[in-house]
Amino acid sequence: MTIRLKLTLWYSSIVALTVLIFSMVLYTTVWRNSLRDIDTALRRRAESVASSIFLPPGMALRAKSIVIPDVDVFSGADVYVQVLDSSGDLVAKSANLGSQSLPITPDILTVGNGSPFRTEAVSGSYVRIYTVPILYRNSIVGFIQVGRSLQPLMTQLNRLKISLVLVSLATVLFAGAVGWLMAKTALKPIDKLTRSAREIGEKRDFGKRVAYRGPADEIGKLAATFNMMLDGLEQAYNHLEMALAGQKRFVADASHELRTPLTVIKGNVQLLRKSIGLDPEGTEEAIQDIEFEVDRLSRMASELLDLARADAGQHIVLAPVDLVEVITSVAKRLAVLASDRDFNVTFDPAISCVPVMGSAEHLERVLTILVDNAVKYTEPGGKINVSLSVSDHYAIIKVKDNGSGIAKEDLPRIFERFYRADKTRYRSGTGLGLAIAKWIVSEHGGQIDVTSELKKGSEFTIRIPMLSQGETEKSIRKS
């Protein structure tokens, strides 16, 4: 059952109940008031009859001796009068009663036995009868009965009943129709919302919003909430699409990158098979090639594993570390990497200790990646400088070289996985180093940026938030 139908039925039922109660109250009020009026009229009539009865003084208490007035004087078209003696025998009656008489039941004649008014059926129609005793020296010498046909009242009440039924029916029908229209108007915005939502769902067009121009009532709030939910859904959907596209690209790049060394290895193995024992120099070269590619493959495999773990949400365990210590401890190894370059590590003289929440192992790895790149892309004799300084509660590590530099169009992409600006130049690269460096830095709550100019050199800058004095002490106490 639709809400519209339910609302209409509820509305009609309430109106029907109200109309029913109103009709019943009206009907009973009219009936009671009319009956009261009739009763008053009957009593007055009886009083008039009583006052005109003449009882001769000293008469024996026999009803027959009551001088009865002409009861017809007191009767009307539908008012009947009759007089009874003390034993209940009819003494006189109005002519309009014809051969009939008002019913005489013994209990009527017992004074004080309930109400003096009775409603009795007389030849198929109801008559209201008032019985009053005629007293003479405190003794009952007879009774006056005044009756009135209830037929006109019944007819009137019947007409009222029919009118009430008709008016009630019309009112309920009218209320139902109005309720049906009102429910339609009230539910129209919801209908619109439903249609918009269905359309958005069917077309998967999460950029669309439900158009609601109206007050900020319940429906306005529903529309706003719905649009808010669509915002979230759109974001999630876009994010998912981007992630999916990135994943697809990653899989395609990974399979491509893995195939290249494998092709080289296979070619060399075939060459070895053919030239075994014939060309010792060529054999040595082929074995070197194989070794080189196998090294690259295993490096790529371990780097891919690192990135896969990062994608799976694995986090680096951080603890308070001193960057001065980290850089000092890795400097020797870096110097070996850059042995035939002018390699320097400099610390801001104003600092003695730079505490950050970090992992010494991973920070060393980032430095190795950057210095290794600087070496790769700088000619022997070139300059490479690693520096550490502090600015605005951030530790700043810079790795600067005066090597080949990076073209402007490549700069925004060098942190992408497998992206290599010049693939033919350094075959040993995997294109994953900077992607890993970026992940490690972001795990430290930091940021990595690059500025570079072709043929002039590049500068990689890492910014990591420093631990305040209080935080350092707290972390040391905890550990």
Tokens 């769902």 appear where?
201
Stretch that binds ligand ADP, among 5-13, 121-129, 354-362, 400-408 (CB under 6 A): 400-408
**428 Cβ contact list (under 8 Å, min separation 6):** 292, 296, 376
Helix (H, G, I), strand (E, B) or coil at 316: coil
Residues 426-455 close enough to bind ligand ADP by CB under 6 A: 429-435
Q: Choose between 268 and 404: whose C-beta lies nearer to ligand ADP.
A: 404
Tokens 């080189």 appear where?
292
Among 84, 404, 462, 466, binds ligand ADP (CB under 6 A): 404
Q: Choose between 148 and 362: whose C-beta lies nearer to ligand ADP.
A: 362
402 binds ligand ADP (CB under 6 A): no
Q: Choose between 132 and 399: whose C-beta lies nearer to ligand ADP.
A: 399
Least Å distance, CB 406 to ligand ADP, is 5
CA distance 147 to 3: 58
Residues that bind ligand ADP (rule: CB under 6 A) add up to a total of 22
What is the CA angle 107-109-110, rounded to 5?
A: 70
Least Å distance, CB 341 to ligand ADP, is 12
CA distance 32 to 53: 31
With beta carbons less than 8 A apart as the criterion, state whether 45 and 56 touch. Answer: no
Among 85, 293, 322, 401, binds ligand ADP (CB under 6 A): 401
Q: Choose between 363 and 374: whose C-beta lies nearer to ligand ADP.
A: 374
Among 414, 441, 462, 466, binds ligand ADP (CB under 6 A): 414
Read out DSSP for 91-105? EEE-GGGTT------
406 binds ligand ADP (CB under 6 A): yes
CA distance 364 to 74: 129
Maximum CA extent, the chain = 176
With beta carbons less than 8 A apart as the criterion, state whether 425 and 406 touch. Answer: no
Q: Choose between 12 and 458: whose C-beta lies nearer to ligand ADP.
A: 458
377 binds ligand ADP (CB under 6 A): yes
Among 128, 296, 362, 420, binds ligand ADP (CB under 6 A): 420
What ranges in 217-338 are assigned the alpha helix state H? 218-275, 280-311, 323-337
List of residues contacting ligand ADP (CB under 6 A): 369, 373-374, 377, 401, 403-406, 414, 419-422, 429-435, 458
